[in-house]
């Protein structure tokens, strides 16, 4: 029996989760989840969901809403806390599944698990604080106050690059707010989504509060944003789809948050601690195989240290060991699938044609160890023209574009010359320069002397320009996005008189 057949037999058969039941999708199309480090390993198969399933999931979420809305927020939070506890106990095992399904190396998968669990814990605690404000009134014996009420059914649409953390940071605030959820993860990572939903169910969510539809966006995406019972949409993914989702929600007049691409710059200035900057650029550009909307994809170097820094960078890049992320010592995993690999290779060709100077990488690695995986070498291009596609467009792979600047203002200009504005980094020991950068840079998040990647539960996450529209995620902002404010004017005089407020 070949390895391929053997692993196919042990592959899990996944189902949809609708109204508290695990059911087959109605689509006749089979979805097959394979390991991007070795496509012979089949992790899971399933029958995809289609429009009818999405409609059933929305119906279940709408039915479950009144009782969930009336469940006290601290009680809702406690269920999330229980889910976090289960996740923590299974962290290692789930990280291994993530590496096999998505390809990121095990330390990165463990980091993602930890981050997602922390986010759930933080939002669980917010159940005790989901309040409004009280204000004095112009009138005697009157009180004014606000409450926060859940919006209703939330559609949560997530990408494949963070198969646990992104669902966690959208679903946890939706649930603690009292919204019910229809969750549609990317079809490349169904096994992780199923495990997460099983844990939410085990933690005690009532039937219909969380529903999972696995399948292609083409088969059901429109229903999830167009159906009148859906009252709020949270999306992370491509710019193209995000804009469509935003337009539809805008026309419907419902709140939407779209977290889209990035082309994040790191500026390394001449006075910087170059070793620190090197570590940050390596992590930002090649961590998660560059498949992060927060990845460092543009590096702007002070001309005075450019050659020296590039020498240091190339020496580090050459040390990166590619391979299966479950093996010890591997520094970079594969691209998530053939299609992303093709995109990476296409952009490398574009870079070459545009006249950028290829310093390292630029191809698929050869040899038996890579024969069945979607591997691409970490790639660095120097002297990239800021008007070129390689400087302007998101690759979503381990491809770093470098340009040089003679003055700090020129560096800032290069950094801002881009349609995206998610995050950025500046490496300098000069406080004045760091502050100037923080003020002038067009980005939603700024890192001083730290890599462009990452976020923390308690502070807002999100970008400007082409990187995002709608409310920020995480933090109080990300929580409040799922609620409506209600203002109450309470007169307790007990007298029969008319108010003189206009």
Active-site annotation, residues: 259, 293
Lay out the site mask for ligand UN1 across 208-237 (x = CB under 6 A, - = otherwise): ----------------------------x-
Question: Token pair of 76, please?
Answer: 């809702």
Cβ of residue 461: shortest distance to ligand UN1, in angstroms?
A: 7
The residue within the footprint of ligand UN1, chosen from 454, 464, 476, 491 (CB under 6 A), is 454
Determine the interface stretch with ligand UN1 among 291-299, 330-338, 353-361, 397-405 (rule: CB under 6 A): 291-299
Cβ of residue 354: shortest distance to ligand UN1, in angstroms?
A: 25
Question: Token pair of 349, please?
Answer: 């060709």
The residue within the footprint of ligand UN1, chosen from 223, 293, 332, 426 (CB under 6 A), is 293
Per DSSP, 495 falls in state -
Number of Cα atoms under 13 Å in the Cβ half of residue 291: 26
The residue within the footprint of ligand UN1, chosen from 223, 330, 433, 453 (CB under 6 A), is 453
Site for ligand UN1 in 232-261 (CB under 6 A): 236, 259
Residue 168 contacts residue 236 (beta carbons within 8 Å):
no
Determine the interface stretch with ligand UN1 among 122-130, 134-142, 158-166, 311-319 (rule: CB under 6 A): 158-166
Cβ of residue 161: shortest distance to ligand UN1, in angstroms?
A: 5
Cβ of residue 468: shortest distance to ligand UN1, in angstroms?
A: 9
Q: Of the two residues 16 and 161, which places its CB atom closer to ligand UN1 in the complex?
A: 161
CA distance 374 to 145: 56
Cβ of residue 284: shortest distance to ligand UN1, in angstroms?
A: 9
Q: Does 161 bind ligand UN1 (CB under 6 A)?
A: yes
Number of residues that bind ligand UN1 (CB under 6 A): 12
Determine the interface stretch with ligand UN1 among 7-15, 26-34, 197-205, 452-460 (rule: CB under 6 A): 452-460
User: Whose CA is closest to 470, among 251, 149, 249?
Assistant: 249
Determine the interface stretch with ligand UN1 among 49-57, 124-132, 137-145, 286-294 (rule: CB under 6 A): 286-294
- DSSP states along 182-222: EEE--TT-HHHHHHHHHHHHHTTPPTTSEEE--S-HHHHHH
Residues 6+ apart with CB under 8 A from 204: 79, 82
The residue behind tokens 């200035």 is: 269
Q: Of the two residues 150 and 163, which places its CB atom closer to ligand UN1 in the complex?
A: 163
Q: Does 159 bind ligand UN1 (CB under 6 A)?
A: yes
Cβ of residue 217: shortest distance to ligand UN1, in angstroms?
A: 16
Determine the interface stretch with ligand UN1 among 31-39, 161-169, 344-352, 354-362 (rule: CB under 6 A): 161-169
Q: Does 294 bind ligand UN1 (CB under 6 A)?
A: yes
Q: Does 455 bind ligand UN1 (CB under 6 A)?
A: yes
Cβ of residue 19: shortest distance to ligand UN1, in angstroms?
A: 29
User: Whose CA is closest to 242, among 453, 470, 418, 475?
Assistant: 470
Q: Does 351 bind ligand UN1 (CB under 6 A)?
A: no
Q: Give me the numbers of helices (H) and strands (E) for the chain, helices first please.
A: 16, 23
First to last CA, the chain: 82
CA distance 338 to 415: 31
- Answer positive or negative: Cα dihedral of 212, 215, 221, 223: negative
Angle between helix 190-202 and 73-89 (nearest 10): 130
User: Whose CA is closest to 259, among 248, 269, 246, 247?
Assistant: 246
The residue behind tokens 């020496």 is: 315
Q: Which residues bind ligand UN1 (CB under 6 A)?
A: 159, 161-162, 166, 236, 259, 292-294, 453-455
């Amino acid at each position: 029996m070949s390895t391929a057949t053997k692993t196919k037999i042990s592959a899990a058969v996944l189902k949809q989760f609708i109204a508290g039941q695990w059911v087959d999708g109605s689509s006749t199309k089979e979805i097959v989840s394979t390991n991007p480090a070795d496509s012979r390993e089949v992790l899971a198969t399933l029958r995809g969901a289609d429009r009818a399933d999405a409609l059933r999931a929305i119906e279940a979420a709408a039915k479950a809403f009144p009782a969930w809305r009336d469940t006290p927020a601290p009680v809702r939070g406690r269920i999330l806390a229980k889910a976090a506890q289960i996740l923590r106990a299974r962290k290692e095992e789930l990280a291994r599944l993530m590496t096999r399904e998505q390809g990121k190396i095990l330390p990165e998968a463990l980091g993602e698990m930890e981050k997602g669990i922390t986010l759930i814990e933080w939002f669980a605690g917010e159940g005790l604080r989901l309040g409004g404000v009280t204000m004095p009134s112009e009138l005697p014996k009157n009180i004014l106050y606000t409450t926060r009420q859940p919006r209703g059914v939330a559609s949560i649409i997530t990408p494949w690059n963070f198969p646990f953390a992104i669902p966690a940071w959208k679903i946890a605030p939706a649930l603690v707010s009292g919204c019910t959820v229809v969750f549609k993860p990317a079809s490349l990572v169904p096994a992780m989504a199923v495990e997460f939903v099983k844990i939410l169910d085990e933690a005690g969510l009532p039937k219909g509060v969380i529903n999972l539809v696995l399948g292609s966006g083409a088969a059901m995406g429109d229903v999830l944003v167009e159906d009148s019972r859906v009252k709020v949409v949270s999306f992370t993914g491509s710019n193209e789809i995000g804009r469509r989702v935003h337009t539809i929600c805008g026309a419907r007049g419902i709140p939407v948050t779209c977290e889209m691409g990035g082309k994040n710059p790191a500026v390394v200035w001449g006075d910087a601690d170059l070793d620190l900057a090197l570590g940050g650029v390596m992590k930002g550009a090649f961590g998660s195989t560059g498949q992060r909307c927060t990845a460092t994809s543009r590096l702007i170097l002070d001309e005075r240290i450019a050659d020296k820094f590039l020498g240091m960078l190339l020496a580090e890049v050459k040390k990166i060991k590619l391979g299966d992320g479950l093996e010890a010592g591997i520094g970079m995993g594969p691209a998530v699938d053939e299609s992303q690999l093709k995109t990476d290779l296409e952009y490398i060709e574009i870079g070459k044609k545009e006249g950028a100077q290829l310093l390292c990488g630029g191809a698929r690695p050869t040899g038996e160890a890579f024969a069945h995986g979607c591997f691409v070498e970490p790639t660095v291009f120097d002297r990239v023209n800021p008007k070129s596609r390689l400087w302007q467009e998101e690759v979503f792979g381990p491809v770093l574009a470098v340009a040089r600047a003679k003055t700090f203002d020129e560096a800032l200009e290069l950094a801002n010359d881009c349609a995206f504005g998610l995050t950025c980094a500046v490496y300098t020991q000069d406080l004045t320069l760091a502050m100037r950068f923080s003020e002038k840079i067009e980005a939603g998040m700024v890192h001083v002397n730290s890599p462009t990647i990452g976020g923390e539960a308690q502070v807002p996450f999100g970008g400007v320009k082409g990187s995002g529209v709608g409310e920020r995620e995480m933090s109080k902002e990300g929580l409040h996005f799922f609620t409506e404010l209600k203002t109450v004017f309470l007169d307790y005089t007990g007298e029969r008189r008319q108010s003189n407020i206009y």
